[in-house]
Amino acid sequence: MTGKVKLVSAGGGSVSLATPSTGSNRTVTLPDADVTIGATNSAGVLTTQGDTLYRDGSGIQRLAKGTANQVLTMNSGATAPEWAAAGGGLLLKKTYYQIGRGTFTSDDFPNDDTVPQITEGVEIFSQAYTPTNTSGCEIWVTTHFHLAETSNVANSSIAALFISGTDDALQVRSNYSAGDDGTRHNADFTIIHKLATWSGAKTFSIRVAGANSYNYGHYGVGYAEAKYGSAACFSPFIIEEVST
């Protein structure tokens, strides 16, 4: 420590202490009523949980907390920080679900150029979701899974993503493998879909046709089977909220 310490009382008077020598100290006792916490003391500046301190040309200042999903940036004069809306592409929330494994009795989608309906095919997965951010963001869905035959049932397999409140599929994927009874028909499916956010709960679902199992295992040239343990045979269904 160098220089002097100056204590200012509430009445305006002051006491100056000389710099103490090494190993010694100086003590001044003032009544509580005569002690004022200065504006540069953080306890006297910060008033609300989430407030931030910064320094301007005159001293320590308080930046009041921002609102949800705002980011800290610098003002146009590059003299002080400020809160601003997040730019597009910022990941606001990411939620992971998983699709297990199982079998089903195939119920085909119509073989025509109409959009598959939520009443068609067989549901292999569903998940209710309520967005945290109901404005200023988009919902991105990414999912991956495997469809296969446990017996010879079809040369093609189709998968569609749906959301409650809408009969039409959001997105459809399909695969065809030519072959007779000696051909094992299977395919990996990946769906990535973007849609506007909403308020309240809605339910995503995956409905399929063709094949008769999902996320089953393979060994050699045989049909798909329940192999490698159900605890390890699953695939992702990921929902992200991304700022616009």
Each residue of 94-117: pLDDT tens digit?
999 999 999 999 888 999 999 999
111 and 222 in a common domain: yes
Looking at the structure of the chain, the number of domains it has is 2
- Give yes or no for a contact between 207 and 171, defined as CB atoms under 8 angstroms apart: no
Whether 34 and 109 share a structural domain: no
pLDDT for 1 equals 47
**In the listed set 33, 55, 85, which residue is the last one of a domain according to the structure?**
85
Residue ending a domain, choose from 85, 118, 135: 85
Reported as a single tens digit per residue, the pLDDT across 195-224 is 999 999 999 999 999 899 999 999 877 899
Last residue of a domain, one of 67, 85, 103: 85
| pLDDT greater than 80 at residue 16 | no
Whether residue 93 has pLDDT greater than 90: yes
128 and 235 both lie in a single domain: yes
Distance CA 50, CA 43 (A): 13
Same domain, 49 and 136: no
**What is the residue range of 56's domain?**
5-85
Work out the number of other CB atoms within 10 angstroms of the CB of residue 239: 18
Of 148, 162, 160, the C-alpha closest to 210 is 148
Beta bridge partners of 61: 54
